[in-house]
Structure 1
Amino acid sequence: MDALENLAPENLALESLVIARRLRVPLDVPADAAPGWGETAARQLDAALLSVGFTCSPALLARLAALPGETVVDLGVRVLAAVRGLVGDHVRHNAYFIDFPANVPDTVEFWAGLLREALLDPVTALDPVTALDPVTALDPAAARVRPSTLDLLSLPGYGRYRHTYAELLAAHAELVPLAGDRVTVLEPGGSLEFEARDLYFSLAGSQAPLAAEDLAALRALASFCAEQPEHVPVRENRAVVNEVRLAAGLPLLVDTVTDVLRLACGASGGDVTLAAPTRFRSFRRAERRALLAALDGLPPAKHGDVARHREQWKRLGERLHPHEFPRFPRAAQVFETARGTRRVPGFDSQVEAALSAGRTADAVRLLEHAPGALLRRLDHLLRTCSSPSDVLDAAAGAAGRASGRVLLSLREHLQNRITPAAGRVFVNRYGRAWTTPDGRAPLGGETLERLLALLDEEITRRLPDPGELVVDPGVLDVALPLSGKAVAPGLGMLPRGSLSRVDGELLRFFVHWRQAERRTDYDLSALMLDASYGDPEQVSWTNYSGDFAQYSGDLTDASDGASEFIDVRLAEATRPIIIPMVNIYSGEPFDEAAEAFFGFMTRDAEQEGRPFEPRTVRMKSDLRGSGRIALPLVFLRGDDGLWRVKWLHLYLKGHPRFNQVEGNRVTTSLLVRAIVERDHLRVRYLADLLRAKATAPAAAAATAAAAATATAAATGRTTYIGLEAPAELPPGSRVYTAATLHELIPA
């Protein structure tokens, strides 16, 4: 790129991606750039950013001031658009009741008023669809009120805005700025090529599976970056990187036959997770040769995995024509296995057969060749074996060969086996969750103690020497991102199980959606429970007000977008557990809507302002997933009287239509309780191991930058872990923030 304003259209999305994911503004200053009124333009950009809760760091202001003013203006437009989308301010958030949270009527009183209007209004006030009915059009009252039924959707004025967005703004005063408002700092970055490469290698090298949005970002970055990573630990990520390597004629990164199948799916525009079938495209001869050569390079012992996806292998064979390449005989054997003309027992089937027959020792001998699989089955093996010492010895041998993510996952599992749990919770890749009673026999205390010590020792060995370690106390209760599949990226997002403080006297949830093709009705609701997860109260479209909560009104059509809000006065809350949820009452699922996102704001009691104020938004992310009910997070009041939020990232299956908070209270309370009571492995655990390994004393977070700078010369390096990076860290510091915590997981 010659200049910032000459960014190619295909690179604009990458620039926005870097800004949203890293809070860094890519800057590529031409050597012949002539400074002009850049300082004035930079100050104007900073003022505009403050209106949505962002600001330029001093370093970014200085870099912008050295640019021509026109360049800063062009860049500022793009930066402002990126951060507004990140916080949810790119749409107009209207509210059903114009004075919300004030003057919200009683639910029954409101409905009675609508019914009164329906009986008295002329036929032109009918719903347009009903008005065309020649029978009901003769009698307006009959069109709206039928015997023993009341259809709220047909009442005039229900579910649609009664005022414009401009009228809403006129009815609300400007937000009163307070010191507690969120201010997110944007830092200067390098060139777009540098920043894109850094993000690309970070995502590709992640030890944890990525969310669907991150996989899409990885694909865009892979096609942009000329340099390709040589080690990609997660197989879905590897398939995306292999797409670029296949197109460029580079050697493929494969070590199982399933790696080739994932690549073929990705190259055909399909699902690299293999959860959904793919319609394979016609491959060029060079591509077919590369795919078959990769298969031929794998030993026949690995062909047992073919049976897992037999039908997809058959369809792929029809596209690759392996008979045209006789020099790849082992590749042809893969498709013979898929067709059933050649039988290769699968590894998992052999293990299952041994366990079903009670031959645990044989299963252990098989699993010793697959250390990750052995550790994942360790609990089951210990409960069914006749000699726990043999299983523990096998686990000790496997620990040194398994991935760091497997070790951390097992560590979290075992620490939850110390105290029996009321129930077990299972969450799939889409965030769909369910619970079941825990009927497992307990593991012995001595066995658990030995295993935990073994894992702690191995994980510590893999961690790097941090030099001087600086840790922000606010990050200690953040859960380690052992999987990111159900976590949609956004502002303030943390992994499932993370805990963080909630400051402010008013808590406001919001949801916004816009339908793509058909009428879509989402309902924002809140379920409030006592300390034992019972005695439920709720605020929703069927109950506008509670003792300490207020609903903004029900919207049933989102052709131009719709927003709903719930206000909670935390100081007056009579329930210590508050669970916001989004129910799909009718219409398009979350992943089919044109747009759908959820978030929350916090304010002080004296703050006024619009229903949606970007400076008070603490969290915002897209809604997606296969469920019809979203449970993003739960708010908990502790014994100290302080409120905290715990991230859930869960979806319930729900019903095809008419989901309501009243219909899923039991399921919701069971799931939330299972997540809240689970002892998640947090950053605190790795920070303690790093402190023990550090060659320099740990510094207090309150003086992070100063302490790091003071001792950097003596230690040679500094490692910082926090929610955000502080300013003025010494050059060469290793920084882990909320956006890059996955890099903290050892290989």
Structure 2
Amino acid sequence: MVHRLESLVIRHTNRLPAPSGPAGQGSVAARQFDAALMSVGFKLSAGLLERLSGLGEETVVETAARTLETVREMTGDHVQHNVYFVDFPANVPDTLDFWVRCVTEALADDASRDRVLAQLRTGVLNLLALPSYGTYQHTYAEMLAVQDELIAAAGDRLTVLHLGDALDAEVSSLYGALAGSTTPLGDEGLLDLAVLAAHCADGPQPEAIPVRENRAVVNRARLGVGADLLLDTVTDVLRLACALSDGDVTLLGPTRFRSPSRSVRRGLLAGLDSVVAEAPAKLADVGAHREAWKRLGERLHAHEYRARWPHAADVFAVARGEKEARTFDSRVEKLLGAGDVIGAARLLTSAPGKLFRSLDRLLRICPTQGERDAVVTAAERVAPQVSGRVLLSVREHFHNRGGEGVEGAGRRVFVNRLGRAWVTPDTRPAVPAPERERLVAALDTEIRRRLPDPGHLLIDPDVLDVALPLSGKATAAGLGVLPRGSLSPVDGELLRFFVHWKQTGRPTDYDLSALMLDASYESAGWLSYTSLTLVEGEHSGDITNAPEGASEFINLRLGAVSGDFIVPQVNIYSGEGFEEVEESFFGFMLRDSEQLGRPFEPRTVRMKSELRGPGRVALPLAFVRGGDGRWRAKWLHLYLKGSPNFNRVEENRMSVAQLLRGIIERDQLTVRYLTDLMADRAGATTLWDGTTVPDGPVTYIGLERPDGLHPDSLIITPENLRALIPS
């Protein structure tokens, strides 16, 4: 358990909890540990190296073994990345030449000759019928033997591991940060929170847990230690029941409820009864999840406790339709149906978040200036009661609702919480400019008011175009991953991206592809198993079965790319989905033109993200050439539904281009927006040059934490970027 907790801290903070043990002469082992870390793109900070050097050698070696295991998994180096073509990217053949070679080898094989001849006579050949196609023709060791050693380069990634506090203090701090997050966590974040909550349930707690999914995970742990539950809606109880059954606390998918113990049943029913007793109007929330409540009622045997907890019994009566509970939304719709926009806005002020999410609609249907003024005035009055995440989301929305003349105003991009995306024409009337500008000004004022006094603000310029993490659902778990919509620089001459997957049971074929688009979003070619080589680069070869794990790579020379967009994608050709396989992840590496090395070199990995989504086509990110000629990564984290089988880049290039255009032409709210607001209150604002560290405490915002910052500094990096979102 200690190793697991230590690993969580490293992954989320790039801090190694302070190692403890007998004093000794550990300097030699510590330097060896540092060298081993550098081979996978990590390094010990000066303070951590000093701490380890003063410990016994055995303690240092044990710490090194645990830490190396964690960071190798972070980069994807915990698996063996073999390639079909043994000396990739050298000597990758032309696609047709390769297929002919496979046919020739099949015809020379007694076991396959008749089957292949029969297919050739029909004029249609199944590549999977060729014995040498789709499976490794050499071992991992044989592949390594023909690859040159990596030439070190100044541009190789070097992530510094900093010295943390004692393990218990680091775990408690991380628990507080995740549980108290003002934005929803991703799936892996929720799993990590569950581990931390089980360890910290009877210790210090965050002042507030505003995100309902987080609260459900924490409540499960609190129930286990007999602590009071954090409940203020009936849906909180439903989410807790889902957590207890290892189900979906987001309530997006159905949960198969287990039969809880008698004590758990009593705890859930007592909590439900107290919520409804205090505010009977909250019964209106039951209708949103009526079927789930019915199934839960069967497991809780609510009828047995009707006399003891009658208000809890009312919840299940509403779910079964035996008792009416008029919803808040129905009251709003009734007013709007009668044309009473002002009345609807007045009612919505009692639910400020709903009012802000309804502003676009209300302003579009207001027939008079007086009604528009009343709607905006109502929003201004309740703005202090709205969560920071909603304020920022609405601010971004109205920035992109400028009407005629705004780039991309003719299309709408929808992305649900699972990462499924689609684009439709925008047929909505424009929001009147005066009201839009008035709202934007009010939002800026309220957001600025909530931001802390940063003191000396030190900013890494590369972080300014990172999108604000308004939801953890918009960011995949992994190393160097940024929120959807972010832009980050791509500095290198060779771009190589990769996918690795390992099937659970049945044969599974994932196909890594790269679609090139020109400035008009028209196809300019692609690399895939059907197009192994282009002027720009090479594909490592198709692997069609992954019982022990499989990898595919695409190598690109950025200077030779003629298009303006490169869109990597992972297509599921057949077999298990991204959520079914034992493991699947995507990433990219950057190298100088003279660097050689193996197909996978962990210290050149700039990003590695988990592939865990509902579609059959994954779009992790795109590479965009700017007007200055520099390439940048545009982070997508999207999934297309695709076909059940046989997805190929050739067949989805139109939908991918349309979706990419909608994403590219939408302005995201970025770190730059918040730092501009913070700068008004900062004692000083400095753009970090990568070398000079101020002597005193600072508020540092950047992609990586510099070594040597004052210990009282507030440090914001992608690992805790959610801390920027005001409550």
TM-score bracket for this pair, using the shorter chain length: over 0.9
CA contact (8 A) 1:372 1:398 kept: no
Instruction: State the Cα distance separating 1:366 from its structure 2 match.
Output: 2.3
Instruction: State the Cα distance separating 1:81 from its structure 2 match.
Output: 0.7
- Which whole-Å CA distance do the structure 1 matches of 2:414 and 2:338 have between them? 27
CA contact (8 A) 1:375 1:398 kept: no
- Which whole-Å CA distance do the structure 2 matches of 1:188 and 1:697 have between them? 28
Q: 1:467 pairs with 455, 465, 470, which one?
A: 455
Q: State the partner residue of 1:359.
A: 340
Q: State the partner residue of 1:27.
A: 18
CA contact (8 A) 1:144 1:154 kept: no
Q: State the partner residue of 1:212.
A: 187
Alignment of 1:153-232 (within 5 A): 153-225=128-200, 226-227=202-203, 228-232=205-209
Instruction: State the Cα distance separating 1:140 from its structure 2 match.
Output: 4.6
1:248 aligns with 2:248: no
CA contact (8 A) 1:477 1:684 kept: yes
Tell me the amino acid that sits aligned with residue 686 of structure 2.
A
- Which whole-Å CA distance do the structure 1 matches of 2:416 and 2:269 have between them? 32
Q: 1:490 pairs with 478, 485, 503, which one?
A: 478
Instruction: State the Cα distance separating 1:660 from its structure 2 match.
Output: 0.1
Pick closer, same or farther for the CA change 1:141–1:733 going to 2, 3 Å.
closer
Q: 1:734 pairs with 714, 718, 721, which one?
A: 714
Q: State the partner residue of 2:6.
A: 15
Q: State the partner residue of 1:310.
A: 290
Moved more, 380-389 or 139-148: 139-148
1:279 aligns with 2:256: yes
Pick closer, same or farther for the CA change 1:140–1:489 going to 2, 3 Å.
closer
Q: State the partner residue of 2:266.
A: 289
Instruction: State the Cα distance separating 1:443 from its structure 2 match.
Output: 1.5
Q: 2:561 pairs with 567, 573, 598, which one?
A: 573
Tell me the amino acid that sits aligned with residue 160 of structure 2.
V
CA contact (8 A) 2:395 2:443 kept: yes
Q: 1:452 pairs with 427, 431, 440, which one?
A: 440
Tell me the amino acid that sits aligned with residue 389 of structure 2.
R
Instruction: State the Cα distance separating 1:294 from its structure 2 match.
Output: 2.1
CA contact (8 A) 1:382 1:388 kept: yes
CA contact (8 A) 2:116 2:129 kept: no
Deviation digits for residues 91-146 of structure 1 (CA, Å, limit 9, x no counterpart): 111111111111111101111111122223212xx3xxxxxxxxxx8x35445545
Instruction: State the Cα distance separating 1:542 from its structure 2 match.
Output: 0.6
What SS does the corresponding residue of 1:578 show, helix, strand or coil?
strand
Q: State the partner residue of 2:579.
A: 591
RMSD over equivalenced CA pairs, Å:
1.5
- Which whole-Å CA distance do the structure 1 matches of 2:706 and 2:12 have between them? 17
Q: State the partner residue of 1:237.
A: 214
CA contact (8 A) 1:14 1:196 kept: yes
Tell me the amino acid that sits aligned with residue 234 of structure 1.
V
Q: TM-score, normalised by structure 2?
A: 0.96
Q: State the partner residue of 1:477.
A: 465
Where do 4+ consecutive residues of structure 1 move more than 4 Å? none
1:746 aligns with 2:716: no
Q: State the partner residue of 2:704.
A: 724
1:521 aligns with 2:509: yes
CA contact (8 A) 1:412 1:680 kept: yes
- Which whole-Å CA distance do the structure 1 matches of 2:587 and 2:692 have between them? 31
Instruction: State the Cα distance separating 1:657 from its structure 2 match.
Output: 0.3
CA contact (8 A) 2:410 2:427 kept: no
Identify unmatched segments of 5+ residues in structure 1: 1-9, 127-136, 713-717
What SS does the corresponding residue of 2:700 show, helix, strand or coil?
strand
Alignment of 1:332-481 (within 5 A): 332-386=313-367, 387-418=371-402, 419=406, 421-481=409-469
Alignment of 1:131-150 (within 5 A): 139-142=114-117, 145=120, 147-150=122-125
Tell me the amino acid that sits aligned with residue 206 of structure 1.
S
What SS does the corresponding residue of 1:316 show, helix, strand or coil?
helix
Instruction: State the Cα distance separating 1:740 from its structure 2 match.
Output: 0.4
CA contact (8 A) 2:19 2:63 kept: no
- Which whole-Å CA distance do the structure 2 matches of 1:317 and 1:105 have between them? 63
Deviation digits for residues 674-722 of structure 1 (CA, Å, limit 9, x no counterpart): 111110000001001111022x122331278632x24x4xxxxx31111
CA contact (8 A) 2:175 2:197 kept: yes
CA contact (8 A) 1:144 1:155 kept: no
Moved more, 657-666 or 352-361: 352-361
Identity of aligned residues (%): 58
- Which whole-Å CA distance do the structure 2 matches of 1:358 and 1:252 have between them? 42
Q: State the partner residue of 1:151.
A: 126
Tell me the amino acid that sits aligned with residue 13 of structure 1.
R
Q: State the partner residue of 2:693.
A: 706
Instruction: State the Cα distance separating 1:282 from its structure 2 match.
Output: 2.9
Deviation digits for residues 384-429 of structure 1 (CA, Å, limit 9, x no counterpart): 1231001101111221111000000000001111226131100111
Pick closer, same or farther for the CA change 1:350–1:60 going to 2, 3 Å.
same
Pick closer, same or farther for the CA change 1:357–1:550 going to 2, 3 Å.
farther
Q: State the partner residue of 1:542.
A: 530
- Which whole-Å CA distance do the structure 2 matches of 1:319 and 1:229 have between them? 32
What SS does the corresponding residue of 1:611 show, helix, strand or coil?
coil
- Which whole-Å CA distance do the structure 2 matches of 1:180 and 1:432 have between them? 35
CA contact (8 A) 2:701 2:715 kept: yes
1:319 aligns with 2:319: no
Instruction: State the Cα distance separating 1:325 from its structure 2 match.
Output: 5.5
Instruction: State the Cα distance separating 1:327 from its structure 2 match.
Output: 4.0
What SS does the corresponding residue of 2:472 show, helix, strand or coil?
coil
Instruction: State the Cα distance separating 1:354 from its structure 2 match.
Output: 3.3
What SS does the corresponding residue of 1:528 show, helix, strand or coil?
strand
Tell me the amino acid that sits aligned with residue 366 of structure 2.
C
Q: 1:265 pairs with 219, 222, 242, which one?
A: 242
Q: TM-score, normalised by structure 1?
A: 0.93
Identify unmatched segments of 5+ residues in structure 2: none
What SS does the corresponding residue of 1:706 show, helix, strand or coil?
coil
What SS does the corresponding residue of 2:86 show, helix, strand or coil?
coil
CA contact (8 A) 1:145 1:151 kept: no
Moved more, 525-534 or 321-330: 321-330
- Which whole-Å CA distance do the structure 2 matches of 1:145 and 1:703 have between them? 62
- Which whole-Å CA distance do the structure 2 matches of 1:505 and 1:700 have between them? 26
What SS does the corresponding residue of 2:706 show, helix, strand or coil?
coil
- Which whole-Å CA distance do the structure 1 matches of 2:552 and 2:592 have between them? 20
Moved more, 101-110 or 294-303: 294-303
Q: State the partner residue of 1:99.
A: 87
Instruction: State the Cα distance separating 1:276 from its structure 2 match.
Output: 2.1
CA contact (8 A) 2:105 2:132 kept: no
Q: State the partner residue of 1:647.
A: 635
